[in-house]
Structure 1
Amino acid sequence: MEDHKIDQADEEQIDLLRLFQEFWGVFRGLFWLPVLLAVLLGAVQGFRSWRSYTPRYSSSVTFTIQMTDWALTDIGGSTNYYDKAMAEQLSKTFPYLLQSELMQSMLRQEMGTAAVNGSITAQTVPNTNLFSLKVTSTKAQDAYDILNTVIEIYPRVADYVVGSTQMNLLTVPVVAEQPDNAFRPARTVCKGAALGAVLGMLIILAFAAARRSIREPEEIRRQLNQSCLGTLPQVSFKRRSGAADQTVSIRNRRISGAFQESVRSLRIKFLRESARYKAQVVMVTSTHPGEGKTTVAVNLALTLSQNGAKVILVDLDLRKPSVKKALGLQTPSLGVPELLERGEADGEKYLIPVEGTNLSLLAGDNAAADARQQISSRHLSALLNSLRRQADFIVLDTPPCRLVADSASIARTADCTVYVLRAGAAQVPHVLDSLQLLADSGTRIMGCVLNGVQGSHSGYGYGYGYGYGYGGAYGKYSRHHKEHEEKQA
């Protein structure tokens, strides 16, 4: 029983951690949402406060009440007791007097208006014969005028109820210079902004709770029904001079041993699966840009060549070639677009050898003018068939599946597909759609590579990335997925 409780607590802790990871992933893409809602709701609340604001001015006076009927004096000749009693009685009867038709009609008649622009209140100071009147209005002059008129006619109205009285003013009414309710929108705006920020965070939390992404190797089998060929850890570089090598390849001495070992482990599983599938031409793709497919293709080709195989790496991302950049090569060269434009089926003479390896590249510098037509060209199949005679393995770096249909067309010429997943990036339904698209093309999925697995540290503390730039070539895409193609998770 105790073990079951411990396992349950561990699962809850994992679920909370997973939710936090998803929340952070969504927040990085939608961080602007709470800010935008805070600004909008703050502005709306401020505008509503301004529109509904009505200044209230008041004038007040304090006075004492004395009886003018000397028959009501006490034995000592004082009217003090009766004045207190009268004040208490007046404080009770005053609301009724104010609302009486007699008071209102006399007030309108004295002021010469059809309606009274103000409210009148009265208050008695306990245990005294002190009495106060206060008039509140939207205009300072109206409040002052109404108060003076009330002072003038009030004794006449009270005379009908409590008898003859006399008001002795202790203060003088004045015209208010400032409204009682000064316009202070800061608090209202802050409340609106806080509400907007909270609402934005709740929306992000709802998105995070609904997200289904792949973060662990076992989830590849459980949710995608695919095998995991390997995992690659997060790679970061310290901020250094621009001359420092920041290519994410196993040839870079700054890359950690954890990454090197992960690539070697990928090679072992790849060789086993390629032998089973008898695969020579292998395409590498992903769901979205920024998941590291080019990095996986480059390092897979490098590690196979280090193992003694003759490998050709072909850049078939015709809309955004990036293989040369991933290897840090700057020598001008022709790629597949140029060969297809010329109708050449023999690419051997255009191969670029990578110094110190058995790896050759067929990669250019320019994007294709009409990538869709070239991908569908019969010359592409003939070109790849000619390369089969030149190498043990041909690795194809292809575009992301979810953006364009290029990968599905290329898949018909490949023997197998290695599918790259960036941990926490693509959602499971999107991945399944892309895998189905590839399956419909007739290709076999060799397995998945989980890129960007957290917890493996390379010893460098500054994140880097290459701008993948699918916005122009493939159309607009979400900001979260076009941050950096080569930034490893």
Structure 2
Amino acid sequence: MEDHKIDQLDEGKIDLFRLLQEFWKAFQRLFWLPVILAVLLGAAQGLRGWRSYTPRYSSEVTFTIQMSDWTLTDIGGSSSYYDKAMAEQLSKTFPYLLQSELMQSMLRQEMGVSYLNGSITAQTVPNTNLFSLKVTSTDPQAAYDILNTVIEIYPRVADYVVGSTQMNLLTAPTVAEKPFNQFRPSRAICKGAVLGALLGMLAILAYAFTRRSIREPEEIRRELNQRCLAALPQVTFKRRGGAVDRTVSIRNKKTSGAFQESVRSLRIKFLREDKKQKAQVVMVTSTLPGEGKTTVAVNLALTLSQNGAKVILVDLDLRKPSVKKALDIQKPSRGVPELLAGKHRDVKKFLVPLEDTGLSLLAGDKPAEDARQTISSQRLTALLDTLRQEADFIVLDTPPCRLVADSAAIAQAADCTVYVLRAGVAQVPHVLDSLQLLADSGTRIMGCVLNGVQGSHGGYGYGYGYGYGYGGYYGKYSSRHKKTGENQA
């Protein structure tokens, strides 16, 4: 029971980590969304603040109030101008007098207006007869006029409530030169920008939450119900001066040892499955462009040839041929479109042997004028039947399944398919649709290759296959043994 709980916790951690991975990947693609939303909402908030902004001006004064007969003599004969009880009474009544209907009506009558263009506020210092009076208005002159009128009529209003009073001004009222609520667009713009950036990040997080892509070898079995033939690590080259071979192949000594070992692991598992399925024509495809199908096709063909097999690598991505580029071959050559369109039937004249290997290429330099018709023609099936007589394995680099239907047409002539997935790229539903399309064509899915894996999964499957050694079935492969069904010990 405890182990089960631990597994659930571990799974939750993995899900959180994957969510962060998906978020980062989505952010790299959609980083412009928070930026645009920040700019738009920042501008909108700034415009809104500017349109709703109303400048307000204030005029204020500080003064004391005392009763007209407020002169008391103590036992010693000295005069006192401060009486605590009277000060408390003035503090309580002064604000109410200002807001009373009597004060308001007298103000309007005195100023000759139907309404007051301003508001009056008052503050008192506790236990004193010190007061401050402030009038705010959208018109600085109106604020000044209302304040002076209040000072003028207050004694008359107070006379009805507390008796005769006298105001002693400590500061003189003035006309305001600038509004006290100056418009600060930077504050409104910053608030809008922060809100826009936050909404953009939340949108990216929601997008990442709905994404389901393959990132781990174990997910191929769990999500796709397919076996993982190998997991190839992400290959990077250090920046150095001068020309550097950046071809991702096992022939390039600059590629990492992890990639080299992962390709050998792919060969081991491929030959193991080939023993069961008896596949000679192997189709390599993917869901989307850029997942590394050509890289896998090239390295699969190379590693099989290094193991002693005679291999022909055919570039059937006729809309965008890339096999020669992946091998850094500059010499001009003719491919499948020229072979099928010409009158010559000698396939050997079109094959380009790769030096120091048992690998030959059937790859051209130019895209086909009508790729769909070329692939659907019966002559392509006849061509592949001819190539079967010339090699142990024929590896076909084909277009992505998600974009065009070429792969489904080619699959009918192939014995099996190796499906390439780049970690974190294609969505699971899209992959399943493409696998179903291939299955409907009658081809068998030998397994999947997870490409561009980050971390320590580059050697997935290597330890398992390596335990069998290279001397048994996984030993050197020859054309003669292929035809007789024997294996070299």
The interval holding the TM-score normalised by the smaller chain is 0.7 to 0.9
1:271-282 equivalent positions in 2, closer than 5 A: 271-282=271-282
Change (3 A) 1:157 1:142: same
Q: Distance in 2 between matches of 1:184 and 1:345?
A: 81
TM-superposed CA distance for 1:225, in Å, is 1.1
8 Å contact from structure 1 (residues 87, 131) kept in 2: no
1:377-456 equivalent positions in 2, closer than 5 A: 377-456=377-456
Amino acid at match of 1:431: V
Amino acid at match of 1:318: L
Deviates more, 1:201-210 or 1:306-315: 201-210
Amino acid at match of 1:74: L
**Partner of residue 462, structure 1:** none
Q: State the identity as a percent.
A: 80
Amino acid at match of 1:411: A
**Partner of residue 67, structure 1:** 67
Change (3 A) 1:341 1:110: farther
8 Å contact from structure 2 (residues 229, 270) kept in 1: yes
Amino acid at match of 2:362: L
Change (3 A) 1:113 1:376: farther
Q: Distance in 1 between matches of 2:51 and 2:376?
A: 63
Amino acid at match of 1:390: E
| Superimposed CA distance per residue, residues 34-67 of structure 1 (whole angstroms, 9 cap, x where no aligned partner) | 3333333333333333333322221100112132
1:170 aligns with 2:159: no
Q: Distance in 2 between matches of 1:33 and 1:224?
A: 32
TM-superposed CA distance for 1:90, in Å, is 3.8
8 Å contact from structure 1 (residues 346, 386) kept in 2: no
TM-superposed CA distance for 1:407, in Å, is 1.1
Q: TM-score, normalised by structure 2?
A: 0.86
- Cα RMSD (Å) of the superposition? 2.5
TM-superposed CA distance for 1:78, in Å, is 4.6
Q: Distance in 2 between matches of 1:275 and 1:183?
A: 79
Q: Distance in 2 between matches of 1:247 and 1:448?
A: 22
Q: Distance in 1 between matches of 2:251 and 2:38?
A: 48
**Partner of residue 233, structure 1:** 233
TM-superposed CA distance for 1:242, in Å, is 5.6
Amino acid at match of 2:293: K
8 Å contact from structure 2 (residues 95, 123) kept in 1: no
Q: Distance in 2 between matches of 1:80 and 1:254?
A: 98
| Superimposed CA distance per residue, residues 226-267 of structure 1 (whole angstroms, 9 cap, x where no aligned partner) | 111112112111112461100000100111222111111211
SS in 1 for 2:161: coil
1:129 aligns with 2:121: no
| Superimposed CA distance per residue, residues 198-233 of structure 1 (whole angstroms, 9 cap, x where no aligned partner) | 333333333333332222222212221111111211
Q: Distance in 1 between matches of 2:347 and 2:154?
A: 109
Change (3 A) 1:269 1:4: closer
Q: Distance in 1 between matches of 2:180 and 2:263?
A: 74
Q: Distance in 1 between matches of 2:338 and 2:147?
A: 93
Deviates more, 1:191-200 or 1:53-62: 191-200
| Superimposed CA distance per residue, residues 93-124 of structure 1 (whole angstroms, 9 cap, x where no aligned partner) | 34433333332232223333332221101112
| Superimposed CA distance per residue, residues 411-440 of structure 1 (whole angstroms, 9 cap, x where no aligned partner) | 112111100011222221111111001111
Deviates more, 1:54-63 or 1:19-28: 19-28
**Partner of residue 161, structure 1:** 161
Q: Distance in 2 between matches of 1:160 and 1:226?
A: 96
Q: Which runs of 5+ in 1 are unaligned?
A: 459-489
Deviates more, 1:105-114 or 1:279-288: 105-114
SS in 2 for 1:176: coil
Deviates more, 1:227-236 or 1:273-282: 273-282
TM-superposed CA distance for 1:166, in Å, is 1.8
SS in 2 for 1:390: coil
Q: Distance in 1 between matches of 2:336 and 2:414?
A: 16
| Number of residue-to-residue matches in the alignment | 455
Q: Distance in 2 between matches of 1:241 and 1:335?
A: 35
**Partner of residue 140, structure 2:** 140
**Partner of residue 81, structure 2:** 80
Q: Distance in 2 between matches of 1:410 and 1:87?
A: 102
Change (3 A) 1:365 1:90: farther
Q: Which runs of 5+ in 2 are unaligned?
A: 459-489
1:25-40 equivalent positions in 2, closer than 5 A: 25-40=25-40
SS in 2 for 1:243: coil
SS in 2 for 1:160: helix
Q: Distance in 2 between matches of 1:343 and 1:66?
A: 121
8 Å contact from structure 2 (residues 296, 420) kept in 1: yes
| Superimposed CA distance per residue, residues 10-44 of structure 1 (whole angstroms, 9 cap, x where no aligned partner) | 44433333333233232222233333333333333
1:54 aligns with 2:51: no
8 Å contact from structure 2 (residues 336, 362) kept in 1: yes
8 Å contact from structure 2 (residues 291, 421) kept in 1: yes
Change (3 A) 1:21 1:373: same
Q: Distance in 2 between matches of 1:87 and 1:120?
A: 21
Q: Distance in 2 between matches of 1:104 and 1:370?
A: 91
8 Å contact from structure 1 (residues 344, 379) kept in 2: no
